[in-house]
Amino acid sequence: MKPFEKLVPRLEAIKLINENINPINRVENIPLIEGVGRVLAEDVIADFNVPPFDRSSMDGYAVKAEDTIDANESKPVKLKQIGIYYAGENKEILIEKGQCIEISTGSPIPNGANAVVMVEYTKKIGDFIEIYRKTKQGDNIAPEGEDIKKNEVVLKVGEFLTPGKLGALAAIGKTTLRVFEKPLIGIYSTGTEIVEPGVPLKNSQIYDINSYTINAIVESNGCLPIKKGIILDEVTILANSVLETKNFDLTVFSGGSSVGSKDLLSDIVENYGKIHFHGLQVKPGKPTLFGEIENRPIFGMPGYPTSCLNNSYVFLIPALRKLAHLPPKEDRVVKARLAKSIRSDGGREQFFTVKLNGDTAMPVFKQSGDITSIANADGYFVIPIGVYSVKEDTEVEVILFNH
């Protein structure tokens, strides 16, 4: 059994991950309707002005502004109504001096008109409309191209597609989007004691947890999980799997990266590729490996479910999001008071999981081997290296597990 040579601090590990992960290049075409959460792989340019014509931004009357110069509350101007323009209609009526046309929001402005009077400032009397407020040229008109100009770059490559940005793409009539593919993430659980949920447990066996937690993390961060299942901690089997990693944009192994005698992953990655770090100065999650084989990144996560999942939040998510061209996940942090005193390791930065109850943080961390140490938590706070205990009622900053 070999000890870790040097434990890498969290920020250094994140820097190494960031330096050694490249966003994927593969692109695909998808329908506009499926675009939410995807990332544009091309600049999108408008072929025409939006709106494509001067249009009314109010319900009211299209007028010549100069006809309304003398209008006010006590002395309205009277204009002759010569027609109605509904939105979507394609009429060609010319307004002359002294005339107006009833117009609804979104309707093209009739020829000859240069302003719209809101219906609230008018009164209809037979064929005539009394105008109670002076307008000036352009009032209540959205001019052609106000929203988006022809030949404008509407969205650039790398843009994360929110509902609003999809709206802008709809506005310019895009039906197909060129986006980056979702990165393929291979997921393996290793260990002779691990079996698939559903299979009856024999003595000494436990169910695979990590494939499921990692699968969920991958899916929630813009990547496509490929669950490869459980493989034995045997050298030839593991070596074959490690070489299969070329089929994925990133591969996550869990178990098999600690220093136990059956922990072979690091030897194999070292042999066929390169290790960027092995061993983190964090708790839980010390026995974590990050490396690559043929430029395909590999994570070796601890077998302990809470270690594995906590590390997935802290280290894997940034990797996945960079691969997928996604913006970094922003932490949501709330302040709370610790419900009871706790002890820490002191030698490593500890992620201490808590459940929030109002502004009280209840410790829920039991052991790294217990999935309930994280399943029952709303988030965690960080206990720095060198701190050996945190007293009851201390204010802590809880980083929430993002949903």
Q: Which residue lies nearer to a second copy by CB, 54 or 272?
A: 54
Encoding tokens for residue 41? 């792989």
Task: Find the length of the chain.
Answer: 403
Minimum gap (Å) between residue 65 Cβ and a second copy = 19
Q: Which residue lies nearer to a second copy by CB, 19 or 261?
A: 261
Q: Does 101 engage in binding with a second copy (CB under 8 A)?
A: no
Minimum gap (Å) between residue 177 Cβ and a second copy = 11
Q: Does 133 engage in binding with a second copy (CB under 8 A)?
A: no
Q: Does 125 engage in binding with a second copy (CB under 8 A)?
A: no
Dist. CA 163–CA 165, nearest whole Å:
6
- Residue 267 CB contacts under 8 Å (≥ 6 apart), including other chains: none
Which listed residue (23, 27, 78, 104) binds a second copy by CB under 8 A?
A: 104
Dist. CA 185–CA 24, nearest whole Å:
12
Residues 328-367 that bind a second copy (CB under 8 A): 330, 332, 366-367
Q: Which residue lies nearer to a second copy by CB, 181 or 378?
A: 378
> What CA–CA distances, in Å, run from 272 to 240, 269, 296?
11, 5, 12
Query: Where does this chain touch a second copy (CB under 8 A) — which range of 62-70, 127-135, 178-186, 253-261?
Result: 253-261
Query: Where does this chain touch a second copy (CB under 8 A) — which range of 127-135, 178-186, 244-252, 369-377?
Result: 369-377
Beta strand residue intervals within 36-183, DSSP E = 44-45, 55-56, 60-63, 77-85, 99-103, 115-118, 122-125, 128-131, 141-142, 153-155, 176-180
Which listed residue (12, 26, 86, 240) binds a second copy by CB under 8 A?
A: 86
Q: Which residue lies nearer to a second copy by CB, 48 or 272?
A: 48
Decide the pairing of beta strands 153-155 and 44-45: antiparallel
The answer to whether 254 and 281 have CB atoms below 8 angstroms apart is no
The answer to whether 300 and 238 have CB atoms below 8 angstroms apart is no
Encoding tokens for residue 315? 């280290």
Which listed residue (212, 290, 351, 352) binds a second copy by CB under 8 A?
A: 212
Q: Does 262 engage in binding with a second copy (CB under 8 A)?
A: yes
Q: Does 208 engage in binding with a second copy (CB under 8 A)?
A: yes
Which listed residue (370, 382, 387, 397) binds a second copy by CB under 8 A?
A: 370
Type of residue numbered 88: G
Q: Does 380 engage in binding with a second copy (CB under 8 A)?
A: no
